[in-house]
Structure 1
Amino acid sequence: MSKPLDIVILGLSLASSWGNGHATTFRALIKGLAAEGHRVLFLEREVPWYAGDNRDLPDPDFCELVYYHALDDITGRHAARLEAADAVIVGSYVPEGAALIDRLAEMPLKRLCFYDIDTPVTMDLLDKGEDTHLAKRQVPLFDAYFSFSGGRVLDRLAERYGARRPLPLYCSVDETRYARADVPIKWDMGYLGTYSDDRQPGLEALLIEPARRLPGMRFVVAGPQYPDDIDWPANVERIEHLPPSEHAAFYSAQRFTLNITRAAMRRLGWSPSVRLFEAAAVGTPILSDRWRGLGELLPEGEAIVIADGTDDAVAALTGRDGTTPEALAARARKIVLAGHTGRARAAELAAELQKLPDEGTRREAKETPEWT
């Protein structure tokens, strides 16, 4: 175990998984940090859509969770804790993130880092000049820029945006919560995810159209914010929201689970969703859209089915593709439990944080070079 660290994380949400995948990612990581002996304070902005009944983990037992109402709370009552911490980590999509980062950069912090759980989407926003959550000028400020995307994405973070130390920090899974549940198979294939315009074509091609072609099979889509005008086939069940406590049973009740990737992440590659790790840990065969780097994580045809369209999805569901779903699931589970648990990821994070110099001040942002 590495030297115990005192870490403060300012993230989108830890308490609520409603409409976001950040909460389960942070939970697995922070629980892993606690198991490794590190201390974590998570500061979460109080917002109505993640409050009340939408909070499915309001009082975690593996870290300190504190809600704040305004940026003045950060530079006021939390200043001493931030300045004493070994590392302060800001997450992507934090409300008023750019303004928050500016305030933190002015403080005498030992290490200021960024954890981007949306890296390709973030880069698209930076290119468009949208800087509510993060400004392009701020990227070089961080002692380390942790990214849930790896591969060529890291090169682009350095060359185009000036990240001084871009490092991969993939999502992970809490294997104690994501284990096979003793439930009967209810659906031939399911999908878990909040509605997104750029994911919807994949859902249409890989689940909705297969459902139309295979009326004798059963399908399910769980997640909020789907428009009322979607033409769901009669054999597709809808679940509006599924809390993490029910994810393992949900995956366990499927013959296949579907992974669909947002367009920016699919375009750049090396961006594995937390859902991949969750389903693999449970032992459910995975069918996914194609993107660069996926086969490096889960070998195609050995640990996952990669579908380029409806015909591929139908072939997998009917067994005509020649794969053995049970063997796929077993191989994927072995890979994920060996290196993609929350504790494994926490050890990676702690090791990288301890390599960073204890600067106490932020370097001035350098001119961002063009990426070629």
Structure 2
Amino acid sequence: MKPSTSSGRLIAFYGSSLVSSYWNGAATYYRGILKALAAHGYDITFYEPDAFDRQQHRDIDPPPYARSVVYPATTDTLNEVLREAARADIVVKANGVGVFDRELLEGIVEHSRPDALRLFWDVDAAATLDEMRADASHPVLKALPDLDMVLTYGGGPPVVNAYEGFGAATCVPVYNALDPETHHPVAPDPRFTCDLAFLGNRLPDREARVEEFFLKPAAALPEQSFLLGGNGWHDKAMPGNVRNLGHVGTNEHNAFNCTPRAVLNVARDSMAHIGFSPATRVFEAAGAAACLITDAWEGIEQFLVPDEEVLVARDGQDVAEHLSALTTDKAQAIGQAALARILAEHTYALRGEQVHALFQDHFAKAREAA
């Protein structure tokens, strides 16, 4: 189906980084969503600060579907890019930029036009909501009355109910998905040969779960090989059968997912607790026809069928048992079934249709009200 047009509406998107996935797990989500929206005719500018060495670790050039504006992380340049919000029909502040998060959120409220659609796009909703419960002066709480919409990349009914309980006009989950043009099956790469691979940055609310679901099975299965990718693990004590790769660029994700016998997903604490929050690696691994083992969280059935399209583990012992019983034929069958399901129901093209419809509905209601 040919995408409907958006009459060239301008989007100003303030986020962490579009061109670098370095310490920036949301990169492929932004890329997939914005590429899909551009197909509907939106004119998109993505504003990102030069911070955390992300620009020194770019893994894509500025893409054709969005104008990339990288600004020095100073107050003067922050104010300059915020003033550009006045040009846009849709102004987006994503969470987790890492610098000036409060100022950016306050700035889009201050500088956007009264007729613009103003929204907060939360790529870590469970953690944000925990912060809001603990801090009555949280900037998101303060901004909610002036925002038209909250979009999240997961969380299901618990997140929707919580955000609307805090006063959000509307909250809609827009889940992670697959861009089959960027994540797809490729030939195996000997560098990534192993029995189980995990890719994720070392974060405080993930580390204990990685110990349980990845390092514990590795210690229990010394005859099998394990591969760890991501930033921050260099000084972590590990069993001898675990190889630590460090940062793995998005250009290598397909081979990283295709080569191992199985690939592991481990949710962060907050996302595992609230459920309905599949990480990008779930869709990227399935898109590469990998056999995925995921930690258990509520709502997995909405995305993949346990035992047919994904293996679900309640703890490290379950992971070890899955690996011990997993034959090559079974792994391939699970991977192919997952790929078929994701292509049918969970692509960024479909997410783009969803977001485009939300935007169109908002502007239609605004015209009626006027």
TM-score of the aligned structures, taking structure 2 as reference length: 0.89
Q: Does 1:274 align with 2:263?
A: no
Which residue in 2 is equivalent to 1:369?
A: none
- 1:92 Cα deviation (Å)? 0.7
Distance in 1, matches of 2:118 and 2:183, equals 32
Which residue in 2 is equivalent to 1:88?
A: 91
Distance 1:359 1:49, change over 3 A: farther
Distance 1:235 1:356, change over 3 A: same
Distance 1:311 1:114, change over 3 A: same
Distance in 2, matches of 1:130 and 1:72, equals 29
Q: Does 1:244 align with 2:250?
A: yes
1:107-144 Cα shifts (integer Å, max 9, x gaps): 32511011111000111122222967x43221232111
Which residue in 2 is equivalent to 1:345?
A: 351
Letter in 1 for 2:5: K
- 1:262 Cα deviation (Å)? 0.9
Q: Secondary structure in 2 aligned to 1:112?
A: strand
Q: Secondary structure in 2 aligned to 1:356?
A: helix
Distance in 2, matches of 1:184 and 1:235, equals 19
Which residue in 1 is equivalent to 2:173?
A: 168
Contact 2:234-2:244 within 8 A present in 1 as well: no
Distance 1:175 1:135, change over 3 A: same
Show structure 1 runs of 4+ deviating over 6 A: none
Q: Aligned residues: percent identity? A: 27
- The structure carrying a bigger helix percent of its residues is 2
Distance in 1, matches of 2:202 and 2:247, equals 11
Q: Does 1:12 align with 2:16?
A: yes
Distance 1:140 1:302, change over 3 A: farther
Q: Does 1:181 align with 2:189?
A: no
Which residue in 2 is equivalent to 1:153?
A: 159
Distance in 2, matches of 1:268 and 1:39, equals 34
* Counterpart among 210, 232, 238 of residue 238 in structure 2: 232
1:134-185 Cα shifts (integer Å, max 9, x gaps): 43221232111001122221111101x2111101111222211111111157
Contact 2:109-2:143 within 8 A present in 1 as well: no
Distance in 1, matches of 2:167 and 2:289, equals 40
1:27-84 Cα shifts (integer Å, max 9, x gaps): 11112222333221101112242222x12224222210011234554554663x5233
* Counterpart among 336, 343, 355 of residue 342 in structure 2: 336
Q: Secondary structure in 2 aligned to 1:348?
A: helix
Q: Which range moved further: 3-12 or 187-196? A: 3-12
Distance in 2, matches of 1:25 and 1:256, equals 23
- 5+ residue gaps, structure 1, are 361-372
Distance 1:184 1:102, change over 3 A: closer
- 1:358 Cα deviation (Å)? 7.5
Which residue in 2 is equivalent to 1:287?
A: 293
Q: Secondary structure in 2 aligned to 1:146?
A: strand
Distance in 2, matches of 1:140 and 1:260, equals 35
Q: Which range moved further: 165-174 or 279-288? A: 165-174
Q: Does 1:205 align with 2:222?
A: no
Q: Which range moved further: 10-19 or 34-43? A: 34-43
Q: Secondary structure in 1 aligned to 2:41?
A: coil
Letter in 2 for 1:153: V
Distance in 1, matches of 2:62 and 2:330, equals 42
* Counterpart among 309, 318, 331 of residue 312 in structure 1: 318
Q: Which range moved further: 122-131 or 210-219? A: 122-131
Contact 1:256-1:284 within 8 A present in 2 as well: yes
Letter in 2 for 1:98: R
Q: Does 1:2 align with 2:9?
A: no
Distance in 2, matches of 1:335 and 1:226, equals 33
Contact 1:199-1:261 within 8 A present in 2 as well: yes
Contact 2:129-2:162 within 8 A present in 1 as well: no
Which residue in 2 is equivalent to 1:30?
A: 34
Which residue in 2 is equivalent to 1:101?
A: 105
Q: Does 1:45 align with 2:49?
A: yes
Q: Secondary structure in 1 aligned to 2:276?
A: coil
Distance in 1, matches of 2:18 and 2:67, equals 11
Distance in 1, matches of 2:251 and 2:137, equals 34
Distance 1:298 1:48, change over 3 A: closer
Distance in 2, matches of 1:36 and 1:180, equals 27
- 1:271 Cα deviation (Å)? 0.8
Distance in 1, matches of 2:127 and 2:364, equals 30
Distance 1:320 1:172, change over 3 A: closer
Contact 1:151-1:293 within 8 A present in 2 as well: no
Q: Does 1:265 align with 2:271?
A: yes
Letter in 2 for 1:200: E
Letter in 2 for 1:341: T
Q: Secondary structure in 2 aligned to 1:326?
A: helix
Contact 2:82-2:108 within 8 A present in 1 as well: no
Which residue in 2 is equivalent to 1:219?
A: 226
Letter in 2 for 1:352: L
Name the structure, 1 or 2, with higher relative contact order (CA <8 Å, separation 6+). Answer: 1
Which residue in 2 is equivalent to 1:140?
A: 145
Distance in 1, matches of 2:137 and 2:53, equals 22
